[in-house]
Structure 1
Amino acid sequence: MSKSRAFLKWAGGKYKLADQIAARLPEAQRLIEPFVGAGSVFLNTDFEHYQLSDINPDLIGLYNMLKHKPDQFIADAATLFIDANNDKQVYYGLRAEFNQSTSVWDRSLLFLYMNRFGYNGLCRYNKKGGFNVPFGSYKKPYFPEKELRFFAEKAQRATFHCEGYAESMARAQQGDVIYCDPPYLPLSNTANFTSYATGGFSLDDQALLADCAAAAAARGVPTLISNHDTPVARKLYHESTMETIQVHRSISQTANGRKKVNELFALYR
């Protein structure tokens, strides 16, 4: 089966690891993903049903709009992917429009536009909740029509929820399997773990996630978590069966800033 790319650019996306993850997921009727992100695991697995969650309402809003009105969404989105919109001032104008809008439809279209025209496909908000990723200065941003259509078709098997990982995992029942892709632990031991958080995901969250995984497994729902292979991760996931693989990861802007990093898979069952 050829691999399917997500239509969104996404930091920490799992496209390259999708096969490795799929091979480690126990058989089930439904896959639950509490950290769906761009959806590479969803797109490259074949379960009867999916429950896909994220705490970002713009991401989940976009997925629901695309699922329910794919043709209209793709047609409207295409009107934003024009040369005139690949301009710094136009981008900041549309970003301001996004930040002032309360329409889920309009925000969804602009979220896709900013993901492709903004810097590095980043998704970042300021303390007031305003999207603040700068202009990307790309020659010609790609309009992912093929990827949007594939996602929309597969989304008919999925339900999308804007909620935290604990709520998402609490819904699991026998016949489900859970895959968790949380914000990763820092590779460096010099990081201050008491204050460490990516997008508000603290060390307490990492520990609670491990507890939720153990609780789900106790209810008969196997759970797979991926993270950096660090001493902290191994301590957190001590109740699981752990496996390590090496992955190439960019750690800086330069091409020679790529190195092999150990990725940990922790399976609770």
Structure 2
Amino acid sequence: MQEQVIARSSTHQGGKGYSYNPLAQPFLKWAGGKRQLVPAIKKYIPRKYTQYHEPFVGAGAVLFSLQPARSIINDTNQELINCYEVIRDHPDELLSLCVNHEKNNSKEYYYKLRSQDRHDKFQELSPIERAARIIYLNKTCFNGLFRVNSQGQFNVPYGDYVNPTIADPAIVNAVSAFLNQRSVKICRGDFSEAVSTAKKGSFVYFDPPYHPISDTSSFTGYSMDGFGSHEQERLKLLCDNLSDRGCQVLISNSNAPLIRELYSDFRYEIVEVKASRAINSVGAKRGKVGELLIYNKYECKSI
């Protein structure tokens, strides 16, 4: 379809009591992260919105690029959401543990920390210890993947990087300030629950696990719960419901036939964009790939 630009939003950057901080940015590497696609995504963000919802927040590239005044963020990945909560509430303690991990970084140390979730004592770790562990594993594992097996155990091999930075204090403190000084509600649950309170004038950005474009391209290790065709169909029906409520909706997904078919009705516009994907276990599959941005066509004028 022909590209139709809605507007580049600047309405919710900064504001009373808070200044937009470019250092508030993703603190993790993330498969499917949207950092390099943010300029394209911003073209399809409404001029005005009352509240921002991101049910699949991931590393938060879009969230941090907007820094909205009011937002609800969510993810089913419990370790990820724990990181957001710890950065909000205990940034200094987290940074201290990350410095210790950085000093001790080695292949042997990596596998020692990785193995913790294979033992019962893992449940005894504090939220701060768990957050520091997952940030360390993320920054030192192969290709920055977050992948767990069917038992929910982190299973990515060591990446063998030279002097990796585990946690940048400037970024962690900026993210903590954003989470504390703006109205950010952090949830952990199903994507439908995360938008249950969305009202007319809200803006919802969905970045779900992408539908595979081939039988061999699916990435299912992000969490123990799969995200198959049924979930994609459920998401589409939810987008219809949000549209009926008067919400602005934007969805990122793969350029798969199923996705094009689901959003082929009159409500939506589909735009293809090219994204660079550096995180893939197969080197030949990294590089520019076609992805879809899908948005509902009408804007809510009376906010």
Q: Which residue of 1 aligns with 2:45?
A: 25
How far apart are 1:141 and its partner, in Å? 1.0
Matched length: 262
Structure 1 unaligned spans of 5+: none
Q: What is the aligned counterpart of 1:69 among 67, 80, 90?
A: 90
Q: Secondary structure at the match of 2:30?
A: coil
Q: What is the aligned counterpart of 1:261 among 289, 296, 302?
A: 289
Q: Which residue of 2 aligns with 1:37?
A: 58
Instruction: Give the 5 Å matches for 1:28-177.
Output: 28-82=49-103, 85-99=104-118, 100-102=121-123, 103-143=126-166, 144-156=168-180, 157=182, 158-177=184-203
Greater RCO (Cα-Cα under 8 Å, separation 6 or more): 2
CA-based RMSD of the aligned residues comes to 2.3
Q: Report if aligned partners of 1:30, 1:175 keep a CA contact under 8 Å in 2.
A: yes
Distance 1:17 1:164, change over 3 A: same
Distance 1:74 1:261, change over 3 A: same
How far apart are 1:17 and its partner, in Å? 0.6
How far apart, in 1, do the equivalents of 2:112 and 2:287 lie? 38
Q: Secondary structure at the match of 1:263?
A: strand
Structure 2 unaligned spans of 5+: 1-19, 299-303
Q: AA paired with 1:266? A: I
Distance 1:252 1:94, change over 3 A: closer
How far apart are 1:47 and its partner, in Å? 1.6
More moved, 172-181 vs 200-209: 172-181
Distance 1:206 1:38, change over 3 A: same
Q: Secondary structure at the match of 1:80?
A: helix
The one-character-per-residue Cα deviations of 1:170-195 (angstroms, maximum 9, x if unpaired) are: 2312232100111112223xx299xx
Q: AA paired with 2:37? A: L
Q: Secondary structure at the match of 1:148?
A: helix
Identity %: 32
TM-score, normalising length from structure 2? 0.79
Consecutive aligned runs of 4 or more in structure 1 exceeding 3 Å deviation: 1-5, 248-254, 256-260
TM-score, normalising length from structure 1? 0.88
Q: Report if aligned partners of 1:29, 1:47 keep a CA contact under 8 Å in 2.
A: no
